[in-house]
Chains A and B, each alone.
Chain A
Amino acid sequence: MEALQIIRSDNPFPSVCAYICSHPCEEACRRKQVDKPVAIRALKRFAVEFGGDRMVRSEAKTIFPEKNAIIGSGPAGMSCAFYLRKLGYPVTVFEAHSEIGGMLRFGIPQYRLPKEVLDGEIRRMTGMGIEFRTSTPVVSLDLLFEMGYQAIFVSIGAQQSRRLGVEGENKPGIVDAITFLRETNLGLKPAIGENVVIIGGGNVAIDASRSALRLGAKTVNLVCLESRSEMPAFPTDIQYAEEEGVIINYSWGVKAILGKEVITGVELKRCVAAFDTDGKFNPAYDESITQVLLADTVITAIGQVPQIPESYGLKTRGSTILVDPVTLNTNRKGVFAGGDASSGPATAIQALANGRLAALRIDDYHRHRYPRSMEEESKSSIGELSSQTIQAIRKISRYEPPLVPPEKRKKVFQPVEKVYGWETAAEEARRCLRCGSGAEILFPDKCAACLTCLRVCPYSVPRIDQNFDIQIPADQCQACGICVTRCPAMAIALRKPWDRRYIDEEMERYHQKIKITGSKPLIIGFCCQYGLFGTSLLAGLWKTTGAGIWIIPVMCIAKVESYHFLKAFELGAEGVFLAGCGEQCSRENTITEAKAQIKRARSVLAELGFDINQLQAYLPEQKDNNPEGTPEKWLEEFIGHVGSLHLKSLLTVEEKVDRSKSETFK
């Protein structure tokens, strides 16, 4: 749930993004430098579905009087509405259609984004106080100003399909993809024949072809000017389409659409190059190489442009609305524009980002502030991983989210991709390098340059600079925490608070609990949050708190120090355990370190008359069929062992008391 709160603070519709986002973040993920990027989108979906989304509320209060009108309830418009509302403005979204969502609802098929997910986000927005007026096309911006709105955001999208411009284009049986998809998503089941040809190489074309399959087409041919690597559609979606049976014909253009009253086929001509030497889109053909594809239906998906009403009085550049790149202002005062309407067709995440930027700019406008350039906000960047570090990092292959097999999924509009389970989600999330949240020498004056950190680091990260000071470069550190626990001067700390999981604070809270309620723990367990112990097992263990098992969650066992174990016994526990991911741990040497800390603590315990098995570690050697048993079984045995020791000690005390009663006191 913590993850979900963090996600929701920056993204208005994480559940939508979790299904359909093009994940540019994964392109930037530094794990890519080691093997494959972390599956951030799939993990977001896991967070949304398992993070108790219902309990994370989006609330907003009206602080300012300025009313804002948003035209178009697509991703850009909704994002702008969300952020303006959060900032405290009254917001009304005008939507010409009868349903809210724009391209998210009408352009994206159900097997990629089920409408229940979108409806959930819309409900959340209405709950925040955003007003939606559907079936209300806006004809005049002046009217909106007269109604009292002081700023308008035009986010009408790009919904008009381009025309092919070839012979035969006006025959029946040809439909543009936007119309086709809208009808499909509304459940109207548009009529298609047996042999469908789709023209275009982008995501809309792919969506149309996969939808056509699901509506019952026998053959689906996609024709595009680009070569495979040049196709603008998402590579995974192209792959899914091919798996489902769509035949992709690369590097072909349309010469003519054949047939008299009905379409019988499409004549293609070879496209020798889709882009010219300057990289601009400028298809060149070889008219002598042709082929004919059988077709009774043709769907065109060759690009969309915005339909901008003249009555708006907005200046355009080409087919899109002209906006100032910093303020997002149009030529009319108080009128802003964004999303596909100003950028041309782009991805949903770009529309969301644009809507958010617009909200900030509109806020600047209302409050008479000079807009800061967004550049300032994100200029700090992190360096590349050195080859030495990459070599030392444990290679774990990426866990792809499970897919419904192509045979099954091509017949239905149910989602193609399934969500992770708890285990796979934890395993995939562990691949994260935790960039920027690693160790730093927080107290250089305490550092005695003993070189311990340099020597214990499994990734050889700390280095000696020319002043003989130790530096721990943030862009190489893997945040395992070993140097933090080992530094003899306690001079090193982890940079980000969420990775510290303040063990001392949690133990202090337990200490207070004991003082106030008088209850004592039978067993205290330090459980790694990166593994199963953070999830199902922990959830089960929390329930047994009443039975005397108190859990201290830690972010990796490498952060637990020997004195923590001593403290646990001091709190009154009879048994203490450390549970970690064992061999599954994504960091090196954590097991050896944890065992060394336990050994140290045990040496003290032995001197004090404890049984050293009152302190144990569960560090499974492998994932399944572990010789140590499942976590549950191991814990059961541990509890039994501790219980019997406790009983024994009670009996010994009784014996002592009896004996002392029968002896004379000195």
Chain B
Amino acid sequence: MIVANQKPLNEIWGMVAPYRRVLIVGCGTCMTVCGTGGEREVAFLHHALRLIESKSDQSNHIFSEYTIKRQCEPEFIEMLAEKIQDKDAVLSLGCGIGIQAIAERFDTLPVLPGVNTSIIGMSTMQGVWLEHCVACGECRLDETAGICPVARCAKGILNGPCGGTKNGKCESNRDMDCAWILIYKRLEKLGQLDKMRRYYPMRNFQVIPRPRRLIKLVAGGNGDGQLSL
């Protein structure tokens, strides 16, 4: 799931201050789950901004709130149309996708980011997410017993481990487990240690032209299902 962090309050205030009527838009899916941009956080931010304003020398801001189910779907974004009519700016607490989607649809209005989108995260316990996937586009988790070396190895090596592991921990970050030790142990459990012997060619670390476009073959679409680089 996409995980983001709310921006510091003073940074948000700095962005929002020049605009008078601001609509704070929340997202009801990923941002709700990671506790950053759901309806509750929108309410909290709303009141924080009002409090800031009351203590500053300004007094002309009008904040309003609205949370849509997902900011990455055109149909849901369309539901903002009425609310946005008399506004001067939108402060979106959606992930980077949502912010851009809103900006594209309502391109006569400045759309400000309220969050820093960070990682694709795995929830381990309440409030803690670990980046276990970097969307490299070449998933080989079948070979590595379900543990991703691109995300979880500090060097991102594909034929690891390097010589620097110590007591199962990474030499560059002593708190991090060495991904390749984890992979080895689990392959052992699965009885698939022969996979350690296979050699993987290097990944293409040249700058990958972005944005990559993935067109899937879905009902009504006409793509070919290949990730084009």
Residues of A within 8 A of B50 (CB): 566, 570
Do A489 and B32 form a contact, CB below 8 Å, given A446-B39, A448-B38, A607-B9? yes
Query: Are the C-beta atoms of A488 and B35 separated by less than 8 Å?
Result: yes
B56 to A: closest C-beta gap in Å = 9
Selected from A448, A563, A570, A608, the residue in CB contact (under 8 A) with B28 is A448
Interface residues on A, range: 20 to 34
Tell me the residues in window 605-622 of chain A with beta carbons closer than 8 Å to chain B beta carbons: 607-609
Query: Are the C-beta atoms of A490 and B55 separated by less than 8 Å?
Result: no
Alpha-carbon gap, A487 to B126, bound state (A): 12
- Answer yes or no: B139 CB below 8 A from chain A CBs: no
Selected from A487, A488, A604, the residue in CB contact (under 8 A) with B51 is A604
Residues of A within 8 A of B126 (CB): 451-452, 455-456
Do A604 and B29 form a contact, CB below 8 Å, given A455-B126, A490-B43? no
- Answer yes or no: B54 CB below 8 A from chain A CBs: yes
Contact mask B41-70 → A, CB, 8 Å, 1/0? 101101110111011000000000001010
Alpha-carbon gap, A446 to B38, bound state (A): 10
Interface residues on B, range: 20 to 34
Query: Are the C-beta atoms of B40 and A490 separated by less than 8 Å?
Result: yes
Alpha-carbon gap, A541 to B29, bound state (A): 44
Query: Are the C-beta atoms of A566 and B51 separated by less than 8 Å?
Result: yes
Alpha-carbon gap, A562 to B35, bound state (A): 14
Tell me the residues in window 7-51 of chain B with beta carbons closer than 8 Å to chain A beta carbons: 8-10, 28-29, 32-33, 35, 38-41, 43-44, 46-48, 50-51
Selected from A488, A600, A604, the residue in CB contact (under 8 A) with B32 is A488
Selected from B8, B10, B47, B67, the residue in CB contact (under 8 A) with A563 is B47
A629 to B: closest C-beta gap in Å = 30
Residues of B within 8 A of A455 (CB): 125-126
Minimum CB distance partner of A610 in chain B? B55
- Answer yes or no: A13 CB below 8 A from chain B CBs: no
- Answer yes or no: A656 CB below 8 A from chain B CBs: no
Alpha-carbon gap, A456 to B50, bound state (A): 29
A646 to B: closest C-beta gap in Å = 14
- Answer yes or no: A567 CB below 8 A from chain B CBs: yes
- Answer yes or no: A569 CB below 8 A from chain B CBs: yes
Residues of B within 8 A of A445 (CB): 69
Do A608 and B51 form a contact, CB below 8 Å, given A448-B38, A488-B40? yes
Alpha-carbon gap, A286 to B43, bound state (A): 80
Query: Are the C-beta atoms of B48 and A488 separated by less than 8 Å?
Result: no
Query: Are the C-beta atoms of A487 and B40 separated by less than 8 Å?
Result: yes
Tell me the residues in window 470-507 of chain A with beta carbons closer than 8 Å to chain B beta carbons: 487-490
A508 to B: closest C-beta gap in Å = 13
- Answer yes or no: A450 CB below 8 A from chain B CBs: yes
Residues of A within 8 A of B8 (CB): 607
Alpha-carbon gap, A450 to B43, bound state (A): 18
A484 to B: closest C-beta gap in Å = 10
Do A488 and B43 form a contact, CB below 8 Å, given A448-B38, A566-B51, A604-B51? no
Query: Are the C-beta atoms of A490 and B51 separated by less than 8 Å?
Result: no
Interface of B is mostly: helix
Query: Are the C-beta atoms of A567 and B38 separated by less than 8 Å?
Result: no
Query: Are the C-beta atoms of A488 and B52 separated by less than 8 Å?
Result: no
Tell me the residues in window 489-535 of chain A with beta carbons closer than 8 Å to chain B beta carbons: 489-490
Selected from B28, B41, B43, B48, the residue in CB contact (under 8 A) with A446 is B28
Residues of A within 8 A of B32 (CB): 448, 450, 488-489
Query: Are the C-beta atoms of A566 and B48 separated by less than 8 Å?
Result: yes
Query: Are the C-beta atoms of B29 and A448 separated by less than 8 Å?
Result: yes
Query: Are the C-beta atoms of B28 and A604 separated by less than 8 Å?
Result: no
Tell me the residues in window 558-572 of chain A with beta carbons closer than 8 Å to chain B beta carbons: 561-563, 566-567, 569-570
Query: Are the C-beta atoms of A570 and B51 separated by less than 8 Å?
Result: yes
Do A489 and B9 form a contact, CB below 8 Å, given A570-B51, A604-B51? no
Query: Are the C-beta atoms of B10 and A607 separated by less than 8 Å?
Result: yes
Alpha-carbon gap, A116 to B34, bound state (A): 63
Residue of B29, B33, B51 with highest tally of chain A CB at under 10 A: B51
Contact mask B123-165 → A, CB, 8 Å, 1/0? 0011000000000000000000000000000000000000000
Residues of A within 8 A of B125 (CB): 455
Minimum CB distance partner of B42 in chain A? A490
Query: Are the C-beta atoms of A608 and B38 separated by less than 8 Å?
Result: no
Query: Are the C-beta atoms of A563 and B44 separated by less than 8 Å?
Result: yes
Alpha-carbon gap, A488 to B41, bound state (A): 7
Alpha-carbon gap, A79 to B32, bound state (A): 55
Residues of B within 8 A of A570 (CB): 47, 50-51, 54
Residues of B within 8 A of A450 (CB): 32-33, 35
Tell me the residues in window 62-84 of chain B with beta carbons closer than 8 Å to chain A beta carbons: 67, 69
B25 to A: closest C-beta gap in Å = 14
Alpha-carbon gap, A451 to B123, bound state (A): 11
Alpha-carbon gap, A445 to B76, bound state (A): 14
Query: Are the C-beta atoms of B55 and A604 separated by less than 8 Å?
Result: no
Residues of A within 8 A of B38 (CB): 448, 488-490
Residues of B within 8 A of A604 (CB): 9, 48, 51
Residues of B within 8 A of A449 (CB): 33
Residues of A within 8 A of B48 (CB): 563, 566, 604
Residues of A within 8 A of B35 (CB): 450, 452, 488
Selected from A448, A487, A489, A562, the residue in CB contact (under 8 A) with B44 is A562
Residues of B within 8 A of A561 (CB): 40, 44
Query: Are the C-beta atoms of B40 and A489 separated by less than 8 Å?
Result: yes
Minimum CB distance partner of A564 in chain B? B47
Alpha-carbon gap, A448 to B39, bound state (A): 11
Alpha-carbon gap, A45 to B38, bound state (A): 47
Selected from A490, A562, A569, A607, the residue in CB contact (under 8 A) with B39 is A490
Query: Are the C-beta atoms of B52 and A608 separated by less than 8 Å?
Result: yes
Minimum CB distance partner of A485 in chain B? B40
Tell me the residues in window 443-477 of chain A with beta carbons closer than 8 Å to chain B beta carbons: 445-446, 448-452, 455-456
Tell me the residues in window 371-402 of chain A with beta carbons closer than 8 Å to chain B beta carbons: none
B98 to A: closest C-beta gap in Å = 14
27 CB-based A-B contacts, threshold 8 Å: A445-B69, A448-B29, A448-B33, A448-B38, A450-B33, A452-B35, A452-B126, A455-B125, A487-B40, A488-B38, A489-B38, A490-B43, A561-B40, A563-B44, A563-B46, A563-B47, A563-B48, A566-B51, A569-B51, A570-B47, A570-B51, A570-B54, A604-B9, A604-B51, A607-B10, A608-B51, A609-B55
Q: Identify 6 new A-B residue pairs, CB closer than 8 A, beyond the known A490-B40, A566-B51, A604-B51.
A: A446-B28, A448-B32, A489-B67, A490-B38, A566-B48, A608-B51
Q: 10 tightest A-B contacts by CB?
A: A450-B33, A488-B38, A563-B47, A566-B47, A448-B32, A490-B39, A455-B126, A488-B32, A563-B44, A489-B32
Residues in A lying within 8 Å of B, measured CB to CB:
445-446, 448-452, 455-456, 487-490, 561-563, 566-567, 569-570, 600, 604, 607-609
